[in-house]
């Protein structure tokens, strides 16, 4: 099984900050990596697919990069509505696809 590890598990930041979240796979997964945002009491929402492709309707301040085992999600200038939990997910293996444990982004 492919294990996904996110860091940090939690992060405090201020509006306007540039934030980077990291996801590491236990084996090479090419660019088979997605990022989701989840707000309390809501379903996850797709932000980035295939490592770096921005989902339609997602603000351009979100970006993804990486390949192989190391990936990053970057928010260029944090907005109030970005405070949420972020999950990475690999789709390299056969389903069901594994998620990272999540990164909770909180207001400093």
Partner 1 sequence: EVQLVESGGVLVQPGGSLRLSCAASGFTFSSYGMNWVRQAPGKGLECVSYISGSGRVRYYADSVKDRFTISRDNAKNSLFLQMNSLRAEDTAVYYCARDSPMVRGDVPRWFDPWGQGTLVTVSS
* CB closer to partner 1 out of 80 and 94: 94
Distance CA 83, CA 81 (A): 6
Q: Which residues bind partner 1 (CB under 8 A)?
A: 30-34, 36, 38, 42-46, 49-51, 55, 87, 89, 91, 94-102
Minimum separation from the CB atom of position 14 to partner 1 (A): 25
Minimum separation from the CB atom of position 8 to partner 1 (A): 14
Minimum separation from the CB atom of position 67 to partner 1 (A): 11
Minimum separation from the CB atom of position 80 to partner 1 (A): 23
Per-residue tokens: 75: 């928010």
Dihedrals phi, psi of 81, to nearest 5 degrees: -75, -5
* CB closer to partner 1 out of 74 and 91: 91
Could you tell me which residues come within 8 angstroms of residue 52 by beta carbon, excluding any fewer than 6 positions away?
31, 63, 64, 65, 66
Per-residue tokens: 21: 């979240």
- Report which of 6, 37, 26 is spatially closest to residue 101, judged by C-alpha positions: 6
């Amino acid at each position: 099984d492919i294990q996904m590890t996110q860091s940090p598990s939690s992060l405090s930041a201020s509006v306007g900050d540039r934030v980077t979240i990291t996801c590491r796979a236990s084996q090479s997964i090419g660019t088979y990596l997605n990022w989701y945002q989840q707000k309390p009491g809501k379903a996850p929402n797709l932000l980035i697919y295939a490592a770096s492709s921005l989902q339609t309707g997602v603000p351009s301040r979100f970006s993804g990069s990486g390949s192989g085992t190391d990936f990053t999600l970057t928010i260029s200038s944090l907005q109030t509505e970005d405070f949420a939990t972020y999950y990475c997910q690999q789709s390299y293996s056969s389903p069901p696809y594994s998620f990272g444990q999540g990164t909770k982004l909180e207001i400093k």
